[in-house]
Structure 1
Amino acid sequence: MMAADGSIRPHWRRFLTGLESLAEAELTRRWDTAQRLIHENGITYNVYGDPRGMARPWELDAVPLLISQEERDFLEAGLIQRATLLNRILADLYGPQRLLTEGKLPAALVLGNPQFLRACHGMEVPDGTYLHIYAADLARAPDGRWWVLNDRAQAPSGAGYALENRIILSRSLPELFRDCRVERLASFFRSFRDALLALPERDEPRAVLLTPGPFNETYFEHAYLARYLGFTLVEGADLTVRDDHVFLKTLDGLKPVDLILRRLDSEFCDPLELRADSLVGVAGLVRAVKAGNVVIANALGSGLVENEALMGFLPNLCREILGEDLHIPCIATWWCGQEDARAYVLDNLDSLVINPTFQNRSMLASPDESMIGADMSAKERAALAARMAVRGYDYIGQELVALSTAPVWRDGGLQPAPMALRMYVAAGPNGYVVMPGGLTRVSSSDDARAVSMQRGDGSKDTWVLSSGPVSTFSMLRSGDQAVQLRRSGTALPSRAADNLFWLGRYAERAEGTLRLLRGVATRLAEDVMPGDSWSALDRILRMLSEEGNGEHDDAPHEVDVASMEQQLTHWLYDRQAFFSLRSNLDHLQRTASLVRDRLSLDAWRTLNRFQLDRAWEQPPAVLDVAATLELLNDSLRTLSAFSGMEMENMTRNMGWRVLDLGRRLERAGHTIELIRILLAEGDPEADGRLELILELADSFMTYRSRYFSTPQLAAVLDLLLIDETNPRSVGFQITAIAEHIAALPREDDQPILTGHRRVVTATQAALRLADFRALCKADEHGRRTDLDELLSRLAADMPLLSDSIASAYFSHVGNSDLDDLYRRGLSL
């Protein structure tokens, strides 16, 4: 921001003037809104071993980094040159290898690098492009010169975070964003996407984004980019190779894949020909690429040029290959596999940092393996010299760079902080293009020599200022472009279907638990003396919590206020208890995060409220019943809002069907269990259990509007078990399940019912053919045997139905074993 003479650089003046025009209270309000958007949108970065939880909210500074048009032109030319050079180097090393045979590169530096994938040597790539997207980590010295710290050629991360930073900050400072003429990012992503989709050379190619999964540090970005580019987000298990072709597993069978944008390191992509211990790759993928049946971006093995030891050779290689000098210099680097370089490093340790030769570092990862020469003791230096004498090729020495600073907003004002900038280059239809922006990282320490997301450093939006009018291009189609009409989106991957199925189940499970705990809290808040309804609630809590170990304790227990409060606290907050509300909400949020690319922003924000609510962080020392009741009511409203969005906003495609299918299965099972516990024996009309079950099943008003009388067993049983017009009844759930199953894909050549279709048909028939009078009749011991047998049958059918659906559509396993099980124990 400041020039060498202490004056403000020209391109910062308009921004600072606009910033000063905003009152402090207005700035605070806007930044609070930005922080809320970050939390609501669920922008996270996974930090391994973080005691606060792995998913940490994204840290964004309120002030952007400004880059002038002149700086942008210089960086653009240098980065395009560098991407071109690295692409040419990859083409040679995986092709004729003239750089090795002519001695331009040491063979040990290439062939000894774990990133050199021998299985990929000789593999042809479309248009000779190995690097479809490339990133460079840049640092600016205090004198204003730019240097390249690292090359990111494997699967560069951060572009999605840069895009999200832009969205957040442009909404927080809209006037400044407009007045400063900030260049948009959409045209960069359009060029990148269009160039990728042109590679397979076929109409409407199917493109997927391959992610390692939700535990990867940048999984949020993977889901975000997949949605922004219109690609299907997949994990390795979602893909399969048949006859050297790659297919996507979907509910509707296998669909061919033409393009894979990978966010998975090359060596993990194929356990057959690369790393045999990889659990996240696709067996046979290398053969499919060699056969030319699928395109992978970036090309497998492109991580080879990330090796920092290569930087010492790039100036000569640039003159050799491109016939010109490097526009942007690298930080000075010496590979200690060469004797003269090793001697220089040992003689100049005070001004160097020592790194392993073969490692994968970036400004987004912790640089713990680095050794700063000035900080080493004499003993440590001697040990290093001894190791270098034997294995000098394992080490590089690099100049210790002092980072320039950028202004950050701290403690109500602007303060300097060391910064590094990651800029992105993509292969477009007409050559490489540079993103007019980037991901700026700022250190939380004033004397930091590097910045690291894993250590809690922050990020900034990067504004490239234009000297002329700014393009308003959007990734959305313009109104004059014709589109092909469709009624549904792309095929639903089996893993996504599985996660949506369980999202529905966990949402319903949490709602059922909420209603049950609200019944307890309501009675505690109203100071009702222990009675039959309390005993019934206590029995429900005990029996539902014992389902996991298969044991039921039907013995009567004495119930008092203290014991009920203790049970309520346990059910509310115990994360280790599978039945607790906190455990179910955790599962709900985790499952939602796995399909966030298929949820609307409003739906995601609604579910994310549970994570933002501090009331759920830990149990209170003393239970406040009134506050607990309000928390339960608020949580129920949140879940109801999500359910409303599911019913009113989701198109009726396969994604909605499997989500609602999971919800219906869970509600049916929960209602069956409530009826069995409360109505299968005794006199529920006399002890208040009918009122309780109507409350828990959210059907009290429906009953009153129909009968205008106190609850009676036959009417309640009909309403909650048989009535297919009541959306809370078991009959309604079974009918909905049958309708969803009928709409799922099936084999046309199967003339008989198998698996889940057989189960749901038999279950629906058993319920509809049941003798209702016999269900209501009790024996001399007060037991309703017919009702209990029917409920036991229905309860057994629910998990069988769930397993059969999972085997047919999620894991793609045959149903023969389930059919045998059904015929042996559950046939009509």
Structure 2
Amino acid sequence: MLTATTLLDPPIHARRWITDYCAKRRAGDVLCDAGESAAWTAMFEEIATVAGDDLGQARERVQHHADDIGTGFSIPGDTEERPWPLSPVPLLIDSAEWAHISAGVVQRAELLEHVVADLYGDAKLVEKGLIPAALTAGSPYYLRPMVGLQPPGDHHLYFVAFDLGRGPTGEWRVLADHLRAPAGAGYALENRLAISRAFGGLQAKLNIERHAPFFAAFRDGLAAACRRSEPRIGLLTPGRYSISYAEQAHLARYLGFLFVEGADLAALEDKLYVRTIGGLKRIDAIWHRIDPRFLDPLALDSHSQIGVPGLVDVMAAGNTVVANAPGAGVPESAAFAAFLPRICARETGRDLILPNIATWWCGQERARATVLEDIDNLLIGPAFGVKPLGLDSLSPVPGAEITGAARDRLLADLAVRPQDYVGQEIVRLSTMPVVTEAGLVPRPFTLRVFAARGADGHWTVMPGGFARIGAAPDVRASVMGEGTWSADVAIHGPEPVDAVSLLPPADTVHIRRNPGTLPSRVADNFFWLGRYLERGEALLNIIRVMLGNSIDADAGGALGPETIGRLVGLVVNGGGATKPASLKRADLMQFVRTALESEETHSVRAINRLARGIGKGSRDRLAADFVRLLDAPYPTRGGMLDRTGSLQRRYAALAGLSAEHMGRTAAWRFHDLGRRIERALTMARAVPTFGMAATGTDDLSTLLDLADSQISYRQRYLTGIARVPVVDLVALDPGNPRSLAYQIERIVEHLRALPVLGDDGMEEDQQAQANVLLAGVLTANAARLSEPVLKQVERRLYGLSDAIARRYFLQGAEPLRAAGMTLA
């Protein structure tokens, strides 16, 4: 009988988990095939050390760390990002087996570089009959404008990925090649980070190889291909609606690349620039995650709105490295796999170390006959990544499952356009352990591995990658599809692994206090994030004043109808809700509910949604806590006063994070500029509404509430509320952080600190407008402050906002070179 002490012993739990799992084993499971594996045992012991006898807790712990890192993804059609599903059990591969895989990956990468260079160069492979001409000319991945163009750095491929499958007897084969814009390296990195945080002792116990040297080699490889010694490198994203946007943002941060969209970039005089708040800055290399057809609307697809006009000309001039080069994805098509084994044998004299799955391209008569004869035992799929008329899916489908009218349609289209189809063998996959509600169960998996070109021009393979785990026990790759879980892949060996980091040694780092280049789009996003947050908080304050003083029967004395009418007017003029039928309680309650959460007005909820959208597009520069607050669900519990209280605390937390945790960078200045302009506008509207000569005590008290200045007023004045002191406090007192004057002073400070284009020392337009505003407010007198004066201040604030946008933000097709602009 086990004692209480031994029940808590991790080796006991580990042995029991392995024994129970393998008692129900099937052939081809990586854990059970390993036998008495010290590595697998040590791994499960580490899990038991952290989670005890509860595998479910291990899964929750790992998922918590993945969520904390910010790992997420989406699928086409999603409006919300999904959490990245990570299994707590890594896939273990020993270093000897990995050496074989790595050699196969390097061989394949070199072969594909040779193929791509030939297709866009001398086309000898077509001439020799190793590649059918129709396979190239008919591929949507073949880009004719790239023919004869020697890419900068003399390489077409810098970063590649391959999907591998392990068969039941342990052999590895290539299921798919990814050359156009390979995704997933960031997920492999994030998986490793989450597993390392959850099970800190695993690295040392198993001597797991690290990812940092691989990413360092890739970064150095891109830099070495550039013409400048200290190049500026960007990661080009299609935008926040990309299904792997979170991964791209994480990679940009980790590698130190500038995270840019097509609109951030401009081609000028055969060079590529990023539009920044300090003018145009040179970009020497781009690692893109965009479909290559959309990279340049002038040379490639004219419908593209996410590319950079003129980018191909910049490449042709040799001034910007593009990884991978447009058109490099031709061998990525499933049809090409039918020819790679022969190409490899003829061109290198060796067979593929990692063979393809057997493939027949129906564009050749003999291959088509083979597919039709054995259709029930093959997968039928698209040849070029485009869904043909005879299939309902882009994914390969077992021929035996295509029946009835669907088969008739397939056979009819095969007769008309056979070149659109391939037949492939049905691959059976090995399984690995994964934690489900039922405990430790076997599931099929595929492995995505990555290779990058280093500074010496040779390929480096990431030690590991990430595993995709199928949702069901069926071990056919076609049934598994994209998988539902991921797992870290740990390469382990007998020798200790150096603690390598992507960061350089501390004593060699050149100190810098400049955080780097700020693209105009990012400045625009931060500016409007500040405005939306401040706008939402201002509307919420109005709602809270209405709820607390007139609608909620238990909250104290009610405001008079004139004051309530003025509050309603502020909401209506701001677009938060339409004017209520009356000021009776029922109508006011509906009015407040609309202003709080309507989807059809500029409600608090709608403003929050806008801020959240900007946050999603700026996650590479926002702290995780800030993003979590923006992404937090809209409160639905309790009454409206409870919900407004919850939102008010959230706004306060966001303001606190921006005030106390954001570095005083240019990005922060634009965020705070947005806040200050929006708060100044709020005060410029509130003072003439509640602080003029005809207003009463209720109005003045409401003005103090809207300016969060009740306590300040009471501490300063003991004789009760009077109009002129109230107006002075909320409009003209530069020492009150909620006053109009305070906001304008901060605006002037920010604009003085931001870069200017000219070197003549003269004020730019936005600075001049801010100084005029400040002079008017500082010389004003509260007793003589009138509604027309405040209306003029409001108009000037709007004009100042436009001037800031003209100077610093993207303005569509405005001239790229402004007077005095320096190109660096």
Calculate the TM-score normalised by the size of structure 2: 0.89
Alignment of 1:694-733 (within 5 A): 694-733=704-743
What SS does the corresponding residue of 1:417 show, helix, strand or coil?
Answer: strand
Instruction: Show the counterpart of 2:795.
Output: 796
Change (3 A) 1:26 1:508: farther
Equivalent residue in structure 2 for 1:472, among 488, 494, 499: 499
Do 1:536 and 1:689's aligned partners in 2 also have CA atoms closer than 8 Å?
yes
Equivalent residue in structure 1 for 2:258, among 218, 229, 232: 232
Is 1:568 the equivalent of 2:585? no
Do 2:582 and 2:588's aligned partners in 1 also have CA atoms closer than 8 Å?
no
Calculate the TM-score normalised by the size of structure 1: 0.89
Alignment of 1:37-436 (within 5 A): 37-50=65-78, 53-359=79-385, 368-377=394-403, 379-411=405-437, 413-430=439-456, 431-436=458-463
Do 2:284 and 2:319's aligned partners in 1 also have CA atoms closer than 8 Å?
yes
| AA matched with 1:655 | A
Instruction: State the shift of 1:599 in Å.
Output: 1.9
Is 1:766 the equivalent of 2:793? no
Equivalent residue in structure 2 for 1:609, among 629, 652, 657: 629
Is 1:584 the equivalent of 2:607? yes
Q: How many Å separate the matches in 1 of 2:83 and 2:260?
A: 24
Equivalent residue in structure 2 for 1:648, among 647, 653, 660: 660
Comparing 516-525 with 586-595, greater Cα deviation is found at 516-525
Q: 1:727-784 CA distances to partner (integer Å, 9 max, x unpaired)? A: 1111111121122223333343778766433432332333234343223xxxxxxxxx
What SS does the corresponding residue of 2:87 show, helix, strand or coil?
Answer: coil
| AA matched with 1:492 | L
Comparing 563-572 with 163-172, greater Cα deviation is found at 563-572
Instruction: State the shift of 1:439 in Å.
Output: 1.8
Equivalent residue in structure 2 for 1:636, among 643, 648, 664: 648
Comparing 20-29 with 757-766, greater Cα deviation is found at 20-29
Change (3 A) 1:239 1:610: closer
Change (3 A) 1:168 1:564: farther
What SS does the corresponding residue of 2:216 show, helix, strand or coil?
Answer: helix
Alignment of 1:542-561 (within 5 A): 542-548=569-575, 557-560=582-585
What SS does the corresponding residue of 1:532 show, helix, strand or coil?
Answer: coil
Q: How many Å separate the matches in 2 of 1:709 and 1:462?
A: 72
Q: How many Å separate the matches in 1 of 2:222 and 2:684?
A: 52
Q: How many Å separate the matches in 1 of 2:450 and 2:813?
A: 46
Q: 1:508-538 CA distances to partner (integer Å, 9 max, x unpaired)? A: 1222233333334444556146732676356
Is 1:683 the equivalent of 2:717? no
Instruction: State the shift of 1:815 in Å.
Output: 11
Q: 1:369-423 CA distances to partner (integer Å, 9 max, x unpaired)? A: 5342101225544443333333221211111222222211101511122211111
Q: How many Å separate the matches in 2 of 1:771 and 1:705?
A: 22
Change (3 A) 1:567 1:812: closer
Instruction: State the shift of 1:33 in Å.
Output: 4.1
Instruction: State the shift of 1:450 in Å.
Output: 4.3
Is 1:35 the equivalent of 2:66? no
Instruction: Show the counterpart of 2:4.
Output: none
Do 1:160 and 1:224's aligned partners in 2 also have CA atoms closer than 8 Å?
yes
Instruction: State the shift of 1:210 in Å.
Output: 0.7
Q: How many Å separate the matches in 2 of 1:815 and 1:415?
A: 59
Instruction: Show the counterpart of 1:806.
Output: 805
Instruction: State the shift of 1:74 in Å.
Output: 1.5
Q: 1:50-101 CA distances to partner (integer Å, 9 max, x unpaired)? A: 4xx3322222222222222222111111111111111111111111110011
Q: 1:628-660 CA distances to partner (integer Å, 9 max, x unpaired)? A: 545444433333333233233333332122111
Instruction: Show the counterpart of 1:540.
Output: 567
Instruction: Show the counterpart of 2:822.
Output: none
**Unmatched segments (≥5 aa) in structure 1:** 776-786, 817-828
What SS does the corresponding residue of 1:174 show, helix, strand or coil?
Answer: coil
Do 1:807 and 1:815's aligned partners in 2 also have CA atoms closer than 8 Å?
no
Q: How many Å separate the matches in 1 of 2:476 and 2:625?
A: 37
| AA matched with 1:664 | R
Instruction: Show the counterpart of 1:670.
Output: 682
Change (3 A) 1:309 1:815: closer
Change (3 A) 1:505 1:428: same
Q: How many Å separate the matches in 2 of 1:4 and 1:130?
A: 41
Instruction: State the shift of 1:23 in Å.
Output: 5.0
Do 2:174 and 2:357's aligned partners in 1 also have CA atoms closer than 8 Å?
yes
| AA matched with 1:803 | D
Q: How many Å separate the matches in 2 of 1:796 and 1:456?
A: 56
**Unmatched segments (≥5 aa) in structure 2:** 1-21, 816-824
Do 1:48 and 1:54's aligned partners in 2 also have CA atoms closer than 8 Å?
no
Q: What is the aligned-residue identity percentage?
A: 37
| AA matched with 2:583 | E
Do 2:162 and 2:448's aligned partners in 1 also have CA atoms closer than 8 Å?
yes
Instruction: State the shift of 1:546 in Å.
Output: 3.6
Instruction: Show the counterpart of 2:17.
Output: none
Instruction: Show the counterpart of 1:444.
Output: 471
Is 1:736 the equivalent of 2:755? no
Change (3 A) 1:691 1:607: farther
Do 1:808 and 1:814's aligned partners in 2 also have CA atoms closer than 8 Å?
no
What SS does the corresponding residue of 1:49 show, helix, strand or coil?
Answer: coil
Q: How many Å separate the matches in 2 of 1:552 and 1:236?
A: 39
Do 1:444 and 1:456's aligned partners in 2 also have CA atoms closer than 8 Å?
yes
Change (3 A) 1:370 1:30: closer
Change (3 A) 1:187 1:88: same
Q: How many Å separate the matches in 1 of 2:681 and 2:813?
A: 25
Instruction: State the shift of 1:14 in Å.
Output: 2.2
Q: How many Å separate the matches in 2 of 1:636 and 1:32?
A: 31
Instruction: Show the counterpart of 1:780.
Output: none
Change (3 A) 1:203 1:534: farther
Q: How many Å separate the matches in 1 of 2:56 and 2:632?
A: 20
Equivalenced residue count is 781
Q: How many Å separate the matches in 2 of 1:200 and 1:610?
A: 39
Supply the RMSD in Å over aligned alpha carbons: 2.8
What SS does the corresponding residue of 1:738 show, helix, strand or coil?
Answer: helix
Q: How many Å separate the matches in 2 of 1:126 and 1:790?
A: 60
What SS does the corresponding residue of 2:620 show, helix, strand or coil?
Answer: helix
Change (3 A) 1:629 1:466: farther
